[in-house]
Amino acid sequence: MKEEDTAMNAISDRILIVEDEESLRKALVTKLSAEGFRTLESANGEEGLRVALDQKPDLILLDILMPKMHGLEMLSQLRHNDWGANIPVIVLSNLNEASKVAEAAEGGVFDYIIKSDWRISDVVDKVRDRLKEAV
């Protein structure tokens, strides 16, 4: 961990993790925290939307297949919000549903990562990159 990264992290970066699988959510929280990020968690889309609009994190890691409201639905609603229209979103999924991807292109710009194909440290790198771009 570099000092400058820590400094940057400490100032601003809160990551909202919306993921219904507890094991994966816990892993992400652990890793991101270890890398110096602050984290927020939600276990479904409905809660995730509420927390997002309420807490206004700096980036959202979003799963798709979730109970109550799935990720793309949440994303679509998020984008209708003035603040929500611009927040960086990385979709983390284990589906390669390209048709859903096309559908979700209406959900504005976002990254699409297949969890089982990515190392967790690479996910963290991606988070950093997106945050850098957003600045």
Partner 1 sequence: MKAAPIPKNEKERLGSLYQSALLDTEPEERFDRITRTATKLFDVPISTLTLIDKKREWFKSACGIDEKEGKRAISFCGHALTADEVLVIPDTKKDARFFDNPMVIGKPFIRFFAGVPILNSDGQRIGVLCIKDTKPRKFSKSKQELLISLSAWAELEINSRNMSLALNSRRKLEAKLVIQEKEMKNARDAARNVLEDLQVEKEELTRAKAKDEALLKSIADGVVAIDQDRKIMLMNKKAEEILGWSAREMVGKSSFEVWKVADKNGKLIPKKNLPIAAAFRGKTIIADKSYFYIRKDGSRFPVSMTISPVVVKNKIVGVVAVFHDITREQEIDHAKNSFIALASHQLRTPLTSINWYTEMLLDGDTGKLTKNQRDFLNEIHIGSLRMTSLVNSLLNVSRLDIGTFIVNPEKINLILVFEEMLRESYKDIQGKKLKITTDFDNRIPSINADPNLTRIIVQNLITNAVKYTPTSGRIRIMVRQKQQNIIITVADNGYGIPKNQQNQVFTKLFRADNVKAKDTKGTGLGLYIVKSILDAIGGSISFESELNKGTTFTVTLPLQGMKKRLGTRELAFMK
Residue 25 vs 79, nearer CB to partner 1: 25
Q: Which is nearer to partner 1, 65 or 69 (CB)?
A: 65
For partner 1, the binding residues in 27-46 under the rule CB under 8 A are 27-28, 30-31, 34
CA distances from 79 to 75, 122, 124 (A): 6, 26, 24
What's the closest the beta carbon of residue 95 comes to partner 1, in angstroms?
Answer: 6
Shortest distance in whole angstroms from residue 93 CB to partner 1: 8
In the complex, least distance from residue 98 CB atom to partner 1, rounded to whole angstroms: 3
- Contacting partner 1 (CB under 8 A), which of 5, 14, 21, 77? 21
Encoded amino acid at 58, one letter = D
- Which tokens sit at 32? 């991101």
Strand 38-42 versus strand 89-93 pairing type: unpaired
Using CB under 8 A as the binding rule, the residues of this chain from 76 to 135 that contact partner 1 are 94-99, 101, 114-121
Torsion of CA 112, 64, 90, 117, to 10 degrees: -50
Backbone φ, ψ for residue 105 (5° rounding): -60, -25
Closest approach of Cβ 84 to partner 1, in Å? 26
User: Please, is 91 exposed, middle or buried when counting C-beta atoms within 10 Å of its C-beta (0-12, 13-18, 19+)?
Assistant: buried
Residue 40, strand partner residues? 16
Cβ at position 96, least distance to partner 1 in Å: 5
Q: Where along the sequence are the contacts to partner 1 (CB under 8 A)?
A: 21, 23-24, 27-28, 30-31, 34, 65, 94-99, 101, 114-121
